[in-house]
Amino acid sequence: MNVDPIEMFDRLEPPEGWSEPTDIDNDPVAAQILERVFAEGGNVISLDAARRRRRAIGGAVVVAALVTGGAVAAIWNRRPDTSNVVSCYSDAALEPAVAVQIGWDGETDPAELCAPEWSTGALGVLSPADELRVCVTGDGVAAVIPGGDELCDELGLTEYAPPSPRDLAQAVTDADRELREIFLPSNRCVPPSEAEPETKRVLDKFGLSGWTITIAGTFSADEPCASVALDIETTTAFVRPVRRG
Amino acid sequence: MTPGQSEAEFTVLYRSHYAAVRSYASVCVPHSEVDDIVSDTFLVAWRRFADMPDDWARGWLIGVARNVVRSRNRKLRRATNFVEQLINLRPDGVTKLQGEDLSVEDIDAFKRAFGKLKPNDQEMLLLAGPYGLPTDEIALAFGVKPNAVGVRLHRARTRLREAYAAQMSDGGEAA
Tell me what the pLDDT averaged over chain A comes to.
Answer: 75
pLDDT interval class at A57 (50, 70, 90)? very low
What pLDDT score was predicted for residue A50? 32
Query: Which residues does chain B have within 8 Å of residue A147's beta carbon, measured at their own beta carbons?
Result: 143
User: Does the pLDDT value for residue B57 go beyond 50?
Assistant: yes
- Using alpha carbons, list the distances in angstroms from residue A90 to A69, A93, A118, B35, B64: 14, 9, 8, 33, 21
As a whole number of angstroms, the distance between CA B154 and CA B152 comes to 5
Q: What does the pLDDT read at residue B11?
A: 92
Asked if B102's CB is within 8 angstroms of A9's CB, the reply is: no
Give this complex's ipTM: 0.84
- pTM reported for the whole predicted model: 0.54
Mutate to test the interface with B, among A33, A45, A48, A52 (most CBs of B within 10 A): A33
pLDDT at B147: 85
pLDDT at B15 over 90: yes
Distance from CA of A142 to the nearest CA of B (A): 14
**What pLDDT score does B3 carry?**
54
| Between residues A155 and B94, the one the model is more confident about | A155
Please indicate whether, in this complex, the C-beta atoms of A1 and B143 are within 8 angstroms of each other.
no
Confidence of residue B19 (pLDDT cuts 50, 70, 90): very high
Average pLDDT, integer, range B12-26:
92
Task: Identify the bridge partners of residue A144 per DSSP, sorted by sequence position.
Answer: A88, A134
What lies within 8 Å, CB to CB, of B165 at 6+ separation is: none
Judging by DSSP bridges, how do beta strands A131-136 and A142-147 pair with one another? Answer: antiparallel
Chain B partners within 8 Å of A45 (Cβ): 1-3, 6
pLDDT at A150: 78
pLDDT above 90 as % of chain A: 7
Query: Can you give the pLDDT at residue B162?
Result: 93
Distances (CA, A) of A170 to A167, A230, A240: 5, 13, 23
Nearest-CA residue of chain B relative to A129?
A: B143
Nearest CA in chain A to B86: A14
Residue B75 confidence (pLDDT): 67
| pLDDT one-digit tens code per residue, A59-115 | 222 322 222 222 222 334 566 776 678 889 888 888 887 788 888 877 778 888 888
Q: Which residues of A are less than 8 Å from B142 in CB distance?
A: 148-150
Tell me how many degrees the CA angle A59-A61-A65 measures, rounded to the nearest 5.
120
